[in-house]
Amino acid sequence: MTQTLTLRRPDDWHLHLRDGAMLEAVLPETARHFARAIVMPNLVPPVVTAKQANDYRERILKALPKGMSFTPLMTLYLTEATDPEDVTAAFANGFATAVKLYPAGATTNSASGVRDLDKVMPVLEAMAEIGMPLCVHGEVTDPAVDIFDREAVFIDRVLEPLRRRLPGLKVVMEHVTTQEAVAYVRTADSGPVATITTHHLIINRNHILVGGIRPHYYCLPVAKRELHRLALREAATSGDARFFLGTDSAPHVDPLKECACGCAGCFTATNTMSILAHVFEEMGRLDRLEGFASLNGPAFYGLPANADRITLVKGAPVPYPAKIETGAGPVTVFDPGFPLHWHIE
């Protein structure tokens, strides 16, 4: 029996589009389903200034296929040399929606990130004053801290002290992966919000390591134990408006994933909505999918929910491609490991 679900067109509150030939290939995979996306600034070189953000936005719009509707929401890459006045102007004129904090060395193209938080306090203070959100990659890079503990340690060492120092700063804990992060969002007074990725609802660390190394499941923050995956599924499907979708869809060509020191990232733009419908149905909470994918994010960012609707239909398994071809090389589409029966009509 065919089932249908109609909801407002969703948004992606954490997305990597890259640039050049890769941008041209992956952008339609997002724009096909999503109306807006917070676009990550970790290009090489990174998007640091208002002008660079506007230039990148223009390249994205130029790459958008005719007939597709999509609004990129730009972010600025926070460095220790970032100018508070430039950030303030970028927010005021609509060139940037948020600022991204990468601890230096935490993930892909993060070498220009922050090593000393004190050096960026003038920027953060200005952001708190104007209400500009800070999107945080929440991991410490201390080599003495186990990679599976870096998110929880970040909350204690960095995030909580920062929020006590600047209680007015709007914080997005991006791609949370632990039950500690879920609990922190739920219990912190006037606390942060959090995005949850598609792939962290599906995989735990066994998927990466058992039976051989599976590089297309390797991402940062790395997938954790099963108890953390279950905590994320509960949070995403709970109806709590502090949690919303940020896919962190991150394309890398296969040769850079399938090598001795492979890149981190899962490319989920193509099949995210099908996977989410599966998860929410499995949890018995399909009626809460619209909140997670379409309503909670706009509410936090002070934007209206999209007026357009999409309809998901459940039927025969959807034949998603294993890869998409780009001018830079093939990119593997995230495989959830089970048939997907929901698709956008």
Cα angle 109, 115, 117; round to 5: 125
Q: How far apart are alpha carbons 85 and 30 in whole angstroms? A: 32
Contact status, residue 197 vs residue 174, Cβ threshold 8 Å: no
Q: Which two tokens stand for residue 335?
A: 């495989």
Contact status, residue 176 vs residue 182, Cβ threshold 8 Å: yes
The region, left, alpha or beta by phi > 0 then psi within -120 to 50, assigned to residue 200 is alpha
Helix (H) or strand (E) holding 15: strand 12-15
* Nearest in space to 14 (alpha carbons), one of 249, 173, 203: 249
Q: Is 201 helix (H, G, I), strand (E, B) or coil?
A: helix
* Nearest in space to 53 (alpha carbons), one of 26, 25, 73: 73
Q: Is 89 helix (H, G, I), strand (E, B) or coil?
A: helix
Whether 142 is catalytic: no
Q: How far apart are alpha carbons 250 and 325 in whole angstroms? A: 15
Q: How far is CA 150 from the centre of its chain?
A: 18
Cis peptide before 221 (omega within 30 of 0): yes
Catalytic residue among 149, 248, 254, 335: 248
Contact status, residue 177 vs residue 141, Cβ threshold 8 Å: no
Q: Which two tokens stand for residue 248?
A: 């962190």
- Bridge-based pairing of strands 71-77 and 36-39 is parallel
* Nearest in space to 59 (alpha carbons), one of 48, 67, 47: 47
Residue 56 makes CB contacts below 8 A (sequence gap 6+) with 19, 39, 41, 43, 47, 74
Task: Measure the N-to-C terminal CA separation of the chain; round to a whole number of Å.
Answer: 16
Catalytic residues: 248
